């Protein structure tokens, strides 16, 4: 009866549980009627998410505009953020897609011209950050060896062996290429599958807890 005393909590759990169950039944292919309702619920969720994203963008932009107006510390980063935001919006709205007449909104970030903008700006930045990761990894490896931890030593040795085994001059040696391929096909793939299975089981348990009302991330605490 304690559950029925909080009507807000009970209603939220009921709505979330029924909606989640309908979408889950649609994935199982129960029937056409369930599929129609499930598509409607997913459409509503997508619309609400888009509106929430728009409100979030406006909130972030207003916050950074205030930082620029007040000349807060590091306000230049706020200016760069707003400039990048406006650049993506302008490219996505006012630049037509190839072969189209007038203004045609791209369906996703993978379409032109936003894709071209990402290739021109984001890809070089991401490549630079990935290149810097090599130095951070080397520094982390040296610090791990300096602490003389058995676990860290094993990780560093395995990483070094894998990196050396990928060198072209090493792979041409007899048996090295086959050994590396065996490690990739069995050892590395087994570890990756174990991680994916664990993540899937965790997501399943979390979903069941939300559907049953044990976890309520959609309610204000």
Residue-level length of the chain: 221
Quick one: which of 219, 210, 204, 201 has its CA closest to 17?
Answer: 210
Round to whole Å and give the CA distance between 89 and 79: 15
**pLDDT, averaged across the chain:** 80
Burial 148-162 (b: 16+ CB within 10 A, else e): eeeebeeebeeeeee
| pLDDT attached to residue 154 | 83
- Could you give the 3-state DSSP secondary structure of residue 99? coil
Question: For position 96, what pLDDT does the model report?
Answer: 57
Q: Average pLDDT of 165-172?
A: 73
More confident of the two residues 44 and 143? 44
Residues 176-187: tens digit of each pLDDT: 778 878 888 888
For 137-151, how does the pLDDT look when each residue is reduced to its tens digit (9 = 90+)? 888 888 877 877 788
The pLDDT tens digits for 87-142 are: 887 777 766 555 555 555 555 555 667 777 778 888 888 888 888 888 888 888 88
Main-chain phi, psi angles of 104, to 5 degrees: -130, 120
pLDDT score recorded for residue 4: 57
For residue 181, the SS3 value is: helix
Going from N- to C-terminal start, the domains of the chain cover 1-111, 166-211
Predicted confidence at residue 126, as pLDDT, reads 86
**Comparing 30 with 37, which gets the higher pLDDT?**
37
Nearest to 207 by CA among 83, 21, 36: 21
Please, are residues 49 and 66 in contact by the beta-carbon 8 Å criterion? no
pLDDT exceeds cutoff 60 at 216:
yes
Q: If DSSP codes are grouped into helix, strand and coil, which group holds residue 95? A: coil
Ramachandran class of 213: left when φ > 0, alpha when ψ lies in -120 to 50, beta otherwise: left
CA atoms within 13 A on the CB side of 9: 12
What pLDDT is recorded for position 117? 78
Residue 101: the pLDDT is 52
Residue 30 pLDDT grade (very low, low, confident, very high; cuts 50, 70, 90): confident
- Written as one string, the DSSP assignment of 64-85 is HHHHHHHT-TTHHHHHHHHHHH
At 146 the pLDDT is 80
- Give the mean model confidence (pLDDT) for residues 40-59: 90
Q: What is the mean pLDDT of residues 25-49?
A: 86
């Amino acid at each position: 009866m304690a559950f029925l005393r909080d009507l807000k909590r009970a209603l939220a759990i009921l709505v979330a549980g029924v909606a989640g169950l309908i979408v889950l039944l649609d994935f199982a292919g129960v029937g056409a009627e369930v599929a129609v309702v499930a598509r409607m619920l997913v459409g509503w969720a997508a619309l609400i998410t888009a509106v929430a994203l728009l409100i979030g963008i406006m909130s972030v932009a207003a916050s950074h505009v205030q930082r620029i107006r007040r000349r807060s510390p590091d306000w230049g980063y706020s200016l760069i953020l707003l400039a990048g935001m406006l650049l993506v919006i302008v490219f996505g709205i006012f630049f037509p897609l190839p072969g189209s007449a007038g203004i045609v909104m791209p369906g996703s970030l993978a379409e032109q011209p936003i894709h071209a903008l990402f290739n021109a700006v984001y890809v070089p930045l991401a490549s630079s950050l990935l290149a810097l990761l090599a130095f951070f990894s080397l520094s982390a490896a040296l610090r791990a060896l300096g602490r003389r931890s058995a676990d860290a030593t094993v990780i560093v040795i395995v990483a070094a062996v894998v990196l050396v085994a990928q060198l072209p001059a090493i792979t041409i040696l007899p048996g090295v290429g086959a050994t590396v391929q065996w490690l990739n096909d069995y050892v590395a793939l087994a570890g990756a599958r174990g991680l994916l299975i664990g993540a899937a089981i965790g997501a399943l348990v979390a979903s069941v807890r939300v559907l049953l009302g044990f976890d309520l991330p959609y309610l204000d605490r």
